[in-house]
A = this chain, B = another copy of it.
Amino acid sequence: MKPQAGAEDIERVCEKIERLGFRAHPMPGAQRTAIGITGNPGPIEPAEFEGLPGVAEAIRVSKPYKLVSREVKSEDSLIRVGIESAGSPRSPIGETASAALAVGDRQSSIVNAEAAPGFIVGGRTLAIIAGPCAIESQEQALAAAASVKKAGARLFRGGAFKPRTSPYSFQGLGKEGLEILAEVRRATGLLIVTETIDPENCDLVEEYADVLQVGARNMQNFSLLKRVGRSRKPVLLKRGMSATLEEFLMAAEYVLSEGNYNVILCERGVRTFADHTRNTLDLSVIPAVKGLSHLPILVDPSHGTGKRDKVIPLARAAIAVGADGLIVEVHPQPERALSDGYQSLSPEEFEILMGEITAIAGVIGRRIAI
């Protein structure tokens, strides 16, 4: 759509798409709104739409992924976390776009993420998500939250439902964990990122979470992808252990195709023969995603290396390569963690990390929320 297209222009195009029996996907951007079409069995005549008011051009998408593609939407997507209108279908388009413009636009130099009602992922301000692998107790969670907030994180991670390789490992506190997370948000103002593990479980998790995390092992759990695609909460989608870039983007496409355009991608290391790290962090996927898709992408240097002493160097590299932020495991007492302690940072180490990435961010025109 043209930048000056109004809500009624957008609505008119969407109606026409649906009258033809297809599905319309309006995706507001900072400058203008793109409208994706899916469900069409073959090519559509561009002239069908180019004459309508407010329409800038109709583009045929040549990739297997459509809605996630820059061919559909050339501007970076800004994903609003903790702001109720996020993910809502169609109505608040104008508002969302202008709010995003005011709050998170990269060109804007007066952004104050702290003052915003939520947080924008994908703008100039890097998203730093930190916290323990698993929520173990309210005490542990609040201690972790206090320390990561002090160091500058705005989002808190912590698993209530933990997919574990062994059925005999700690599987998370479940609903009790979610309630602790809600308490963390109440007490600290941090936004909550937590994992959902199956469609039914999502009903519960979306009541508590600000961001629904889909883990690497579930990247091609298509039932779960469709379910979070029907949620109004943003989704953090981790790359599968052996997912190609195309498969990764297709997994995101599943979510968008159901109407939830608020997807944050996350590189977390892939499986290779290399044995000096638990996974091989593939930082080249960041510029590759940026070239093909408008979605933001974070890096998880904790799972991406699986070794505490590699987390800080790789976090620096992730910011330098152009990631939109990090998700990092921080535990008040890593050596006592019930899971993943060997890759969790202590609060002191996390402060060092924040100091170093703040400096790196500065030289590439990004910044940490203040």
Contacts and interface: CB of A to CB of B under 8 A. Distances in A.
A232 interface: no
B198 A223 contact: yes
A275 interface: yes
Contacts of A310: 284, 287-288
Nearest to A361: B363
Nearest to A248: B276
Given A276-B285, A316-B320, A316-B321, A165 B201 contact: no
A360 B320 contact: yes
A218 B215 CA distance: 12
A305 interface: yes
A135 to B, nearest CB: 18
Interface residues of A, number: 71
Given A286-B313, A322-B313, A221 B222 contact: no
A30 to B, nearest CB: 22
A360 B316 CA distance: 10
A305 B245 CA distance: 14
Contact of A313 (B65, B309, B321, B363): B321
A197 interface: yes
A285 to B, nearest CB: 7
A305 B284 contact: yes
Ranked nearest first, the 10 interchain pairs of A and B with the lowest CB-CB distance are A320-B320, A198-B223, A242-B242, A359-B363, A317-B317, A217-B220, A317-B321, A316-B320, A245-B276, A242-B271
26 contacts: A166-B253, A197-B223, A198-B223, A217-B220, A217-B222, A242-B242, A242-B273, A244-B276, A245-B275, A245-B276, A270-B272, A270-B273, A270-B280, A271-B273, A272-B280, A276-B284, A280-B282, A281-B284, A283-B283, A283-B314, A313-B320, A313-B321, A317-B317, A359-B364, A360-B360, A360-B363
